[in-house]
Amino acid sequence: MLNNQKQRRILIVDDDELIRENLRLVLEAQGWEPFDATDGYRALEILYKYPIDIMLLDVNMPGLGGLEVLKMVRQAGYRVPVILMTGYPSIDLSVEALRNGATDFLVKPFTMEQLKNTLENVMRREEKEQSEQKLTKPLVRLLKQKIREQTILFTISDRLTGCRSLSELYQEILNLALHFTSSHKGVLYLADLSRSVLLPTVWEGQEGPPPEFRLEYRDNPIVKASLENMPYLSCRDSRSFLVVPFSVRGEFLGSLVLERSKAFDQEDLFVCTLIVERASPLVENFILYESIFLNLHDSLRALVKALEAKDPYTKEHSERVTSLALELARFIGLSETEIESLRFAGHLHDIGKVGIQDHILLKPGKLTKEEYEVIKRHPLIGAEIVGHISLLKEEVLIIKHHHERWDGRGYPDLLQGEEIPFLARILAVADTYDAMTSERPYRPPLPHNVALEEIRRNAGLQFDPQVVEAFLDLWSQKQKGESFHGDYVSGVVA
């Protein structure tokens, strides 16, 4: 049987030259290509140089014995089958040999027939093992692929569900797609059906906003892929593109577009599809939540406007205060999240006045001490009203504390200094400035410069001195007609 096979290489390791020579002759006759070594070191040299199929190893050799050579062979990482040859077999030797990775034994003296049978048995077992490995390799590969997919899926779900707003979610979709495809350039387009365009919403890897695409330009591959809701892969002039459209409940929402120099493949497409599929229900929830939230905000804002309209002296007060507070917040360089909180709280900061009786609220003359105490309840009533809306903790605190004073003599909680929420300190300055520059039944509006001087005088008393400093700088720049967006840097934010 061995004669019919491709010539295989056998390594004989024995210190006895006569035995080596005899075995070489017999094995050559049986169709093997024999190599021989007098000790373990030479055996390792041959294993290093030639792909040996099987090894015959004498147990009793001077210097390194067969078991020690076997250990060295295995420690060097060779999986070659090893048949030990010994004239003194014992149970202990067998156990030790098997533990060290021996494959079989030949007890000296052995016949040529015994040698042939042992070699055939070992090679048969080896072939069987190799064919089994061939079968299990694709399974192992499949298993590794599944583990990778599960890891990706977990990361995607974990990162997406951690998002707290729609804009954060859109940014995270793009970040994940760039990360898992090792791309550095990408855009998330959203469809604006009222204008019939694909609008770049978040992007990475380029300066300035990417171009819009009109939806009627169907020749454009991004538009075509989006409208047909079919992913698109292309590689041209060493630039590769991947377009993955995504929809919410079957309604097209937008497309993820990635670019890199190396061609995208099916795995990149799979990962990006996974990301947009996982993100889709979250996007839907946020859209729903934000529309409910905006409706609610609009309704409460309308209530405040109606309240203020009852009194000609406070008409549009909250709108003006909000607009000035936002200007100051942008000037200081606050984040979009902080600006949005301030916008919400600014519009509604006096909503608690719905709980104050009209004869006090609209009283044309000076208020009595008792009446003033009633008015002072409006921040708490406002916080109570808005506090029923979950996820608005920051905004509730701004409403509750917009009448606190830096020196601790305000209301309702007598907070002082940095105990007062920072956005409430900004709102307080804008609120007071608008109150001073608006007409009152008992006085005309104060001129702008007088109001500014009054605010300056109250820095460190009624107001945060750093907010006052920023407010005065803002007006100074406004008067100079300079651009003042986001160029103010001071310790105010810190």
Binding site for Fe ion (CB under 5 A): 350
Kindly state the smallest distance separating residue 454's Cβ from Fe ion, in Å. Answer: 17
Q: How far is CA 330 from the centre of its chain?
A: 28
Kindly state the smallest distance separating residue 211's Cβ from Fe ion, in Å. Answer: 46
- CA distances (Å), 274 to each of 84, 138, 175, 406, in order? 55, 24, 14, 52
| 56 or 328: CB nearest Fe ion | 328
Residue corresponding to tokens 């005899």: 22
In eight-state DSSP terms, residue 3 is G
| 181 or 458: CB nearest Fe ion | 458
Could you give the count of Cα atoms lying within 13 Å of 321 in the half-sphere of its Cβ? 33
Kindly state the smallest distance separating residue 321's Cβ from Fe ion, in Å. Answer: 9
Kindly state the smallest distance separating residue 349's Cβ from Fe ion, in Å. Answer: 6
Kindly state the smallest distance separating residue 402's Cβ from Fe ion, in Å. Answer: 6
Q: With contact defined as beta carbons under 8 Å apart, do 227 and 236 qualify? A: no
* Strands of 104-107's sheet in order across: 32-37, 8-13, 54-58, 82-86, 104-107
Could you give the count of Cα atoms lying within 13 Å of 381 in the half-sphere of its Cβ? 13
Kindly state the smallest distance separating residue 199's Cβ from Fe ion, in Å. Answer: 39
| 274 or 427: CB nearest Fe ion | 427
Consecutive H or E run containing 455: helix 448-457
In the chain, the N- to C-terminal Cα span, in Å, equals 85
Residues 6+ apart with CB under 8 A from 236: none
| 350 or 404: CB nearest Fe ion | 350
Could you give the count of Cα atoms lying within 13 Å of 121 in the half-sphere of its Cβ? 12
Kindly state the smallest distance separating residue 401's Cβ from Fe ion, in Å. Answer: 11
- CA distances (Å), 404 to each of 101, 158, 386, in order? 81, 40, 18
| 124 or 310: CB nearest Fe ion | 310
| 257 or 381: CB nearest Fe ion | 381
Kindly state the smallest distance separating residue 168's Cβ from Fe ion, in Å. Answer: 31
| 20 or 425: CB nearest Fe ion | 425
* Strands of 232-236's sheet in order across: 213-214, 197-204, 185-192, 251-260, 239-248, 232-236
**Whose CB is nearest to Fe ion?**
350
Kindly state the smallest distance separating residue 378's Cβ from Fe ion, in Å. Answer: 6
Q: With contact defined as beta carbons under 8 Å apart, do 227 and 205 qualify? A: no
Q: How far is CA 201 from the centre of its chain?
A: 18
| 14 or 350: CB nearest Fe ion | 350
Kindly state the smallest distance separating residue 399's Cβ from Fe ion, in Å. Answer: 9
Kindly state the smallest distance separating residue 446's Cβ from Fe ion, in Å. Answer: 18
Alpha-helical (H) ranges within 162-229 are 166-181, 221-228
| 39 or 384: CB nearest Fe ion | 384
Q: With contact defined as beta carbons under 8 Å apart, do 276 and 256 qualify? A: yes
Look at residue 472 and give its three-state secondary structure: helix
CA atoms of 248 and 254, how far apart (whole Å): 9
Task: Return the bridge partners of 11, or none.
Answer: 35, 55
| 330 or 353: CB nearest Fe ion | 353
CA atoms of 64 and 226, how far apart (whole Å): 72
Kindly state the smallest distance separating residue 467's Cβ from Fe ion, in Å. Answer: 17
Structural tokens at position 305: 């406007």
CA atoms of 175 and 165, how far apart (whole Å): 15
| 36 or 350: CB nearest Fe ion | 350
CA atoms of 104 and 86, how far apart (whole Å): 11
| 172 or 404: CB nearest Fe ion | 404
